[in-house]
């Protein structure tokens, strides 16, 4: 175990990375950031079907470590902020889905970390907060993730008021994917991770990359990109097998599909959309 501030657990198909400095509320210290960047670059991470970012203790993460930033030179702060933004963007650049499992408050850069993951499952106990604005600073970098997750009026209020937004409200706003009872958190996170890792990892990686790329393009460019991706991937093995299996009414056998861990035990009632 080479990490001082992380607990890393590998199952057959997923990698769970647990922020593990609960006594200090899992701060995104420069060491923690550095370890997170490192773990994402390991073969274990690259090869996993999905990555879960979790945390130990009562707080998901309280954000930056003030001792990294107090009485420091500009160069030190700049390096820290660049490293942190690099981490956040790495989460989107990973080929597989990355899910934040938020068991408690996610504040400032901790809120940014959760929202920078592709998916978020939170406990009812959790809240999301960008407190900088009310306390003499401003959450400039968390804002980048926040304003790309929810509408403007709500984001402006969060950033200026610094008020915590309960997980239930965050769910209603579309900021997160699930809100569940604390004792259901692990199962629901695992259930969602299973749901998003059923197909071909190769196609999924191209899909994730295209998701974040085309979302910033004008419609015209987005369609030029997406039609080429659709046509070019369509002649590859897995999509061809998928179509043949459908027409021949048999289950598909994918060349690039990996075996997943067992899904959470059946009999448990998982999240359902309102019908």
- Asked whether the CA dihedral 139, 141, 144, 149 is positive or negative, the reply is negative
Contacts of a copy of itself in 61-100 (CB under 8 A): 66-67, 69-74, 77-78, 80-82, 84-85, 88-89, 97
192 sits near a copy of itself (criterion: CB under 8 A): yes
Q: How many other β-carbons are positioned within 10 Å of the β-carbon of residue 141? A: 18
Tokens read off for 258: 């990996």
Least distance (Å) from a copy of itself to the CB of residue 248? 10
End-to-end C-alpha distance for the chain, whole angstroms? 46
Q: Which is nearer to a copy of itself, 8 or 92 (CB)?
A: 92
Contacts of a copy of itself in 109-168 (CB under 8 A): 118-120, 124, 132-141, 143-144, 147-157, 159-163, 165-166, 168
Tokens read off for 53: 């970012």
268 sits near a copy of itself (criterion: CB under 8 A): no
Q: Which is nearer to a copy of itself, 6 or 26 (CB)?
A: 26
270 sits near a copy of itself (criterion: CB under 8 A): no
179 beta partners? 122
Q: Which is nearer to a copy of itself, 5 or 127 (CB)?
A: 127
Judge contact between 233 and 252, C-beta under 8 A. no
24 sits near a copy of itself (criterion: CB under 8 A): no
119 beta partners? 99
Least distance (Å) from a copy of itself to the CB of residue 263? 13
Judge contact between 128 and 175, C-beta under 8 A. yes
Q: Which is nearer to a copy of itself, 9 or 72 (CB)?
A: 72
Tell me the C-alpha to C-alpha distance, in Å, between residue 37 and each of 6, 27, 34, 86, 114. 11, 15, 5, 8, 15
């Amino acid at each position: 175990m080479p990490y001082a501030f992380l607990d890393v657990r590998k199952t057959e198909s997923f990698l769970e990375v647990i922020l593990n400095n609960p006594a200090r509320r899992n701060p995104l210290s420069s060491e923690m950031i550095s370890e997170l960047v490192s773990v994402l670059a390991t073969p274990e991470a690259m090869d996993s079907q999905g990555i879960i970012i979790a945390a130990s203790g009562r707080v998901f993460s309280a954000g930056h470590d003030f001792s990294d930033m107090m009485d420091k030179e500009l160069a030190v702060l700049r390096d820290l902020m660049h490293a942190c933004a690099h981490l956040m963007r790495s989460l989107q650049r990973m080929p597989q889905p990355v899910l934040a499992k938020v068991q408690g408050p996610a504040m400032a850069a901790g809120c940014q970390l959760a929202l920078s993951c592709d998916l978020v499952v939170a406990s009812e106990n959790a809240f999301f907060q960008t407190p900088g604005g009310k306390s003499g600073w401003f959450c400039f970098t968390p804002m980048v993730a926040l304003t790309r997750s929810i509408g403007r009026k709500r984001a402006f209020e969060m950033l200026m008021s610094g008020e915590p937004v309960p997980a239930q409200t965050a769910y209603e706003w579309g900021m997160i994917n699930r809100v569940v009872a604390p004792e259901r958190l692990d199962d629901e996170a695992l259930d969602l991770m299973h749901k998003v890792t059923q197909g071909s990892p190769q196609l999924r990686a191209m899909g994730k990359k295209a998701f974040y790329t085309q979302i910033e393009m004008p419609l015209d460019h987005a369609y030029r990109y997406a039609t080429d991706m659709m046509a070019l991937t369509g002649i590859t093995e897995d999509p061809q097998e998928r179509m043949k299996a459908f027409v021949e009414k048999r289950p598909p056998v994918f060349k690039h599909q990996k075996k997943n861990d067992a899904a959470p035990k059946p009999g448990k009632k998982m999240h359902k959309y309102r019908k």
